[in-house]
A and B are shown apart, each in its own frame.
Chain A
Amino acid sequence: MRPRRSSRTPKQSPHVRRKTQTDLSAWRKGGRTDSEKSLQHHQSVNDQKYDSQEGSLEQALSYLEKVQDRVALKKNSVLQRHLDTVESTALKQGLPPEGFEILLNVALSGKFADAVNTRLLRSLIPASVIPENSVVSAVSWLCVGKCSGNIQLLFLKWLITVFDFIDRKEQLNALYGFFFSFLQDEKMCPYICHVLYLLTRKENVKPFRIRRLLDLQAKMGMQSHLQALLSLYKLFCPELVTITLPGKMKTYFKNSEGPWKAAITAVRSRNQGPSPLSQAVVLGTSQPQSRKRKWNAQLVIPASSRSTNNLEEIRGKSSVCLYNTNKSFPVEQLQTFPQLLQNIHRLEFPSQMGSVLTSPLLLHYMNCMKDESIYLRLYYWMGQMLQEECAWCVVDNPNEEEFKSFLQSIYKAECFLQEGFSACEEFLYKTLPLWDGFCCRSEVLSLVSWIPLSNFSDIKSYLYDPLAQLFFTSSIYFKCSVLESLKQLLQNWLNCNVIRVDSEFSSLNTTLSGLVNMVAELVHFVGWISTIGLRLEDNSTFLLHFILDFYGTVCDMYLKYNLPLLIMPPAGVFYPALLSMDSVNLNQLCHIMYRYRTNLVAAKENEQSKKNILQFKFSNQTYQEYNQYIIAMVGCLWTSSAFQKDIHPQGLCMDDKVLCKTGVKELKTSFNIVYHPAMMGYSIEFLKQLCPDDTTFNFKLIKGKKWDWYLEYLYSQGLKGLKVFIESSISRVSQASRSKAANVQT
């Protein structure tokens, strides 16, 4: 059990210690109170030679260990030097584990004057860990009372500071009663409370101790250290004691950090990584509240606290020991992920389920426990809160900011759980028709993206209709946000479907065809509002970007999400994108059309190989629509024949006479990748590079080999969508006629 003294690291001490192991455990059995006697166990003083000016720590320790009588510092230069050594080593690299027992024993045994003891205690800075045994024997010195009150206090302060460095705490916890008995010392009481606070486990909380603390409280009045300890007791045994902490309290232990904290941090950062997390004071009961609110309508998400409700019945005083069943772990103490893992089998949900919203650890836990009551409790709480505090429904509600942050917490939790809350869904259905589209805009729209996929048949009247109304009447930025949120919604639905297919989670009553219908309805809705939105906003490039972003998900539904559904964008979206003045959107459109092609080809192959007999079949209309679009695209980008060959009913086809009236010469070669308004910038740049001296911009030069160069140039400008589109959808028949031939391959 005891760390061997001989196992010191060579780095720290080049002088290997040859002394026999000091058997302190034997010494303790013999008579721990008698320091004189104990010293007889030690070897007689070695005739160590202090050859260097700077004595080693080794020598210092062994000197201190063997000092017999009280030595005055002033007259003793040896002691002076050793003390200096200890101090400087401690500050520089910290003390090794085996140093603590010696130094604590010396400091607390009262052999030296307080000045020396203080210096010794101050230099107790751990390099790595502090052996539990050293602390235990120090506490036994404390009980003996050989040292002065000041030293006792200093020791306690040290213990509090370095508590997390003690390697084990079992034996220390066994001394709980000793510590507890020190409470009556008025000076020590605050520090003892802090030590107890760090040490207390559930089994330490006993009715007699509670009584004792309450007596102390009666005697001394409200003392923050007593309050802290009592609230910890309440945390473990809410059925025995209760306390409400005043809200304004900030620190519960006024103890200064002592001289150690800074030194420890410095040593730790020098030696290794950061120091272990020191145990924070967890008193969740006091929450900052912005102002006095109705008791039943606080938007404050409840602090997670343990329920008094699940405890066994109290049958009488004699049965108190029953509470020793160390079964549950108070949620207030849950602060780290390892804690969650260690206690996951004995964790209880907090008394108010709403508190999980702000605790990622509890959300993890919630993810593991698929219990209906969890969701139902959340459902009721959240539903009431949302209705009571809804910033745009409740008249004269001054708390819009609070409501906003509440919605944000809900959204974050939904993202974490990858699942929408039904209370939130209902809230949206109820209140979207009343929403002005302004209040808490981004929060509401992000919550929309987590509306769960279900067979809910009225989604049109509850979601789409109110959204459409706001969409048409609001600014372009609102339109873009709505599209963004609907894209998220679509992705969430698709992801949810993928997960479900993977896990064969068939208990949900959403059938595949139901899902397909829901998704189709959403995509058609977005197509519809996009068409009108583009018209309202004069084919805004910005809006188009968000629309194409949505179709970036739609075009891949079959391959990426395994959904037997592909829906082409309506003509009202396709043509504005195709004739866009902006190369980013045109490039995006090319990429989308390429993905449509890949998906459709894969679907066709699957159909033909009859791999999936029951597989939903794409209607011919989808292929037909795709082909119409492709003809228009190839006409616009490649063959300059868009106006002649476009066969889409809403397409660009124009009568030759009308075209002639435009006065454009050489109609048949004047609208392609070189002349397209979105591409004009590139072709000009290209020409400049090709013939820097020519300022006439003769676009006709771009043909033959130069056409290929031009393509390479475009690709190098980042038009990757265009690249994949041209490479997949345009087959270049022969070298000679490559500038004209095009062929749609589907």
Chain B
Amino acid sequence: MAEEAPEDGGTRTLPSLRRLSRALPFGRTHGRLGASSSGRPVVSALCSQESVDPQKTAFLLRKAWTLYSVTPLYRFRRARLRDYARLLSAFIAAERHRGLAVAVGAEMDIAVRLSSLAELRGTDLDQAALLVQLSSRSRASSRSSEDKPVWSGWFCSMFGDDLSENIPEDFTSLPLFLSHGAESYTALVGSWFQKTFDCCFRRLAISPQNLSWMVAMWAGCGLDTAASAVELVFSVPRLAQPLDIFYAIHPEDAKALWDTVQKTPGEITQEEVDVFMDCLYAHFHRHFKIHLSAAKLVKVSTAIASAHCDGIVKILHSQYLPGVLMLLTELAISQIQ
């Protein structure tokens, strides 16, 4: 129930901003309760041709990232990344060797690197993304050999104006966090950030409704290269044996279907998404006599990205990186507010 999404079916051309009022703690009016009609990105932004330097963000692609929402960081100073890295590295060492004190700044077996990814932001209001990399130093081969990367994670805000516009100076809004690597490292890094910047991490699950938005949006984006199939995975609830249904559609068919559904280019409505999905369901029913609408959509994958309802995404195409991140940022913000 944490994920509430009573959609009203209205047009979603512009993100309906749900602002964090300045005078928040002292009794204010606020309109961000209940029917949280989360805004939808404009398609043009999603399929924007201007993309970030593919070289610099290539390592973000084709990896399964686990999603978290993060409340604004308190007193985060970008100029101090090096200090943060030293402290975080000492923290990790101290946590791993519980009970042994560790001098800050000493060589640790896990090296930490914090860096900014200035390319990854939507507007000037967005903070540049922050990359955290952990690598293990092999003691034997000292420093001659390359450190072996063991975990990475990054904070980002892509068109997250909703949140960043309205927070005081001492706070840094980077609402989306993505991690790749062992959960134990995520826990260490996350705890350190929570302790140091008084923020909260929460897993970001994606509701079936948002998954259908994703598949509709992404199916409609044409790609030059031979694209892979559009795949939907459904799970049937309340069965003794888990039953998953895989539904694959040829990308061109999916795009053709979407093009007939969409009325105005650059704009997506809930209605259109519903029609798109209903068409897919009807087609499936005709062949297999199964009502997919009664099953739960758990995963979608397209040539652009794949997303699982547990909050795991894989972005495949650098051109669409900003668009996908924008959508995820929006989901993260709606979970925070």
Contact = CB atoms under 8 A, between A and B. Distances in A.
Interface of A: 210-211, 213-214, 217, 222, 226-227, 230-231, 233-234, 238-246, 249, 295-297, 302, 305, 307-310, 313-314, 351-353, 372-373, 375-381, 383-385, 387-388, 390, 393-395, 421-422, 426, 429-430, 433-434, 452-458, 461-462, 508-510
Contacts of B287: none
Given A239-B87, A376-B25, A214 B198 contact: no
Contacts of B34: 429-430, 433, 461-462
A380 B199 contact: yes
Given A305-B195, A377-B74, A385-B200, A244 B99 contact: yes
A309 B75 contact: yes
Interface stretch (B41-49, B164-172, B218-226): B164-172
Contacts of B32: 426
Nearest to B200: A384
A123 B2 CA distance: 65
Contact of A242 (B80, B83, B87, B200): B87
Contacts of A380: 71-72, 199-200, 336
A308 B103 contact: no
Contact of A379 (B24, B80, B194): B24
Contacts of B2: 387-388, 390, 393-394
Contact of B1 (A214, A376, A395, A429): A395
Contact of A244 (B74, B95, B104, B336): B95
B1 A434 contact: yes
B7 interface: no
B25 A296 contact: no
Contacts of B286: none
Contacts of A458: 33
Given A352-B195, A375-B25, A383-B71, 20 more contacts: A222-B99, A242-B94, A243-B100, A246-B99, A295-B186, A309-B74, A310-B75, A314-B83, A352-B194, A353-B198, A380-B200, A381-B198, A384-B200, A384-B336, A387-B2, A395-B1, A426-B32, A426-B33, A456-B29, A461-B34
A528 B337 CA distance: 34
Contacts of B28: 422, 454, 509
The residue in A242, A430, A461 that gathers the most chain B C-beta atoms within 10 A of its C-beta is A242
A308 B83 CA distance: 10
Contacts of B26: 375, 452, 508
A454 B101 contact: no
A127 B24 CA distance: 56
B191 interface: yes
26 contacts: A238-B104, A239-B104, A241-B102, A241-B103, A242-B87, A243-B102, A295-B190, A307-B198, A308-B196, A309-B74, A314-B86, A375-B24, A376-B25, A376-B72, A376-B168, A381-B71, A383-B336, A387-B202, A388-B2, A390-B1, A390-B2, A395-B1, A422-B28, A429-B34, A456-B29, A462-B34
Contacts of A249: 99
A241 B30 CA distance: 44
A430 B4 contact: yes
Contacts of A433: 34
B203 interface: yes
B58 to A, nearest CB: 29
Which 4 residue pairs are nearest across A and B when measured between Cβ atoms?
A375-B25, A295-B187, A380-B71, A230-B101
A351 B196 contact: yes
A453 B187 CA distance: 39
B202 A227 contact: no
Interface string B148-192: 000000000000000000011011000000000000001100110
Interface in B238-261: none
The residue in A211, A307, A395 that gathers the most chain B C-beta atoms within 10 A of its C-beta is A307
Contacts of A308: 87, 196
Contact of B98 (A244, A373, A429): A244
Contact of B104 (A240, A375, A462): A240
B27 A453 contact: yes
A227 B101 contact: yes
Contact of A296 (B27, B33, B86, B194): B194
B91 A222 contact: no
Given A295-B187, A375-B25, A510-B27, A351 B198 contact: yes
The residue in A383, A434, A453 that gathers the most chain B C-beta atoms within 10 A of its C-beta is A383
A455 B29 contact: yes
Contacts of A245: 98-99
B234 interface: no
Contacts of B102: 241-243
A517 to B, nearest CB: 14
A643 B105 CA distance: 90
A676 B72 CA distance: 66
The residue in B93, B94, B194, B200 that gathers the most chain A C-beta atoms within 10 A of its C-beta is B200
Given A241-B101, A376-B168, A352 B198 contact: yes
B171 A242 contact: no
A234 B1 contact: no
Contact of A222 (B1, B68, B100, B170): B100
Nearest to B4: A430
A243 B99 contact: yes
B182 to A, nearest CB: 12
Nearest to B74: A377
B281 interface: no
Contacts of B187: 295-296
Contacts of B25: 372, 375-376, 378-379, 421-422
Contact of B68 (A296, A379, A385): A296
Given A295-B187, A352-B195, A211 B4 contact: no
B206 interface: no
Contact of A313 (B27, B33, B83, B98): B83
Contacts of B168: 372-373, 376
Given A384-B336, A430-B34, A422 B103 contact: no
Contacts of B99: 222, 227, 243-246, 249
Given A214-B101, A246-B98, A308-B87, A422 B24 contact: yes
A211 B103 contact: yes
Given A244-B95, A434-B1, A462 B101 contact: no
Contacts of A457: 29
A295 B29 contact: no
Given A313-B83, A510-B27, A376 B98 contact: no
Interface in B44-92: 68, 71-72, 74-75, 79-80, 83, 86-87, 90-91
Given A377-B198, A429-B34, A458-B33, A242 B72 contact: no
Nearest to A231: B101
Nearest to A380: B71
The residue in A213, A231, A387, A462 that gathers the most chain B C-beta atoms within 10 A of its C-beta is A387
A297 B91 CA distance: 20
A217 B1 contact: no
A583 to B, nearest CB: 42
A492 to B, nearest CB: 12
B277 to A, nearest CB: 24
B201 A296 contact: yes
B24 A296 contact: no
A213 B101 contact: yes
A395 B24 CA distance: 30
The residue in B24, B94, B98, B170 that gathers the most chain A C-beta atoms within 10 A of its C-beta is B98
B213 to A, nearest CB: 22
B100 A388 contact: no
B74 A242 contact: no
Contacts of B167: 376
A210 B103 contact: yes
A92 B31 CA distance: 72
A433 B100 CA distance: 49
B195 A351 contact: yes
B196 to A, nearest CB: 5
A430 B28 CA distance: 16
Nearest to A295: B187
Contacts of A222: 99-100
